[in-house]
Amino acid sequence: MKDGKTNPVFERIVRIERMVRSAVLTAGALCVMASTHSAVAMPLTVPQIQTATTNTLRYECHGGSTLTVQYMNTKNKQSFALLTVDGRKMLFVNVLAASGAKYVGDHYTWWTKGPEGSLTDDTADPKAPPMLADCKTGS
């Protein structure tokens, strides 16, 4: 700002971004360690963020692909999705969506509405089809 003062809202946003970035990096490191040492995924833990609930769903997608997603809701009201994309176990963070639940991780978006979801590569041509489309749970 011109008077030398900083905007408190901006400062809060920067602090929150740093906390989320730190949590994602820690969780990503834990995922890498889990995938390199064992075929069974280790539980995801970030001591500062306490998990309230978890739910694992298996999706059947167009073309016969399947996707297993572990959803985590935290006591501080954040939501995460853990899924494997191109052989990499990745942590996706819930972000604002007009409809359904939208999760982003790296340059991918996992978007669900009810029992259906799709996975897109945000760096692909906007006219390209999703990586995984018409994914449905048995629920």
Phi, psi of 135 (to 5 degrees): -80, 130
Q: Is the predicted pLDDT of residue 139 greater than 90, yes or no?
A: no
Mean pLDDT confidence for 108-128: 96
What pLDDT is recorded for position 42?
62
Burial class (CB in 10 A: 0-12, 13-18, 19+), 59: buried
- Please choose, from the candidates 96, 94, 121, the residue with its C-alpha nearest in 3D space to the C-alpha of residue 106: 121
* Residue-wise DSSP of 41-101: PPPP-BTTB-EEEEEEEEEE-GGG-EEEEEEEEETTS-EEEEEEETTEEEEEEEE--SSSE
1 within a domain of the structure (yes/no): no
Range of the domain at 56: 8-136
Q: Dump pLDDT digits (tens) for 40-97.
A: 556 666 677 788 999 999 999 999 999 999 999 999 999 999 999 999 999 999 999 9
Q: Dump pLDDT digits (tens) for 34-43.
A: 444 434 556 6
| Run of H or E residues at 110 | strand 108-113
3 within a domain of the structure (yes/no): no
**Percentage of the residues of the chain whose pLDDT score is greater than 90:** 60
37 within a domain of the structure (yes/no): yes
105 within a domain of the structure (yes/no): yes
What pLDDT is recorded for position 35?
45
What pLDDT is recorded for position 74?
92
The CATH number of whichever domain residue 117 belongs to comes to: 2.40.128.200
Residues 74, 76, 88: CA angle, nearest 5 degrees: 40
2 within a domain of the structure (yes/no): no
Q: Which two tokens stand for residue 107?
A: 């340059």
| Run of H or E residues at 35 | helix 8-37
Specify the pTM.
0.66
Q: Is the predicted pLDDT of residue 24 greater than 80, yes or no?
A: no
Total domains present in the chain: 1
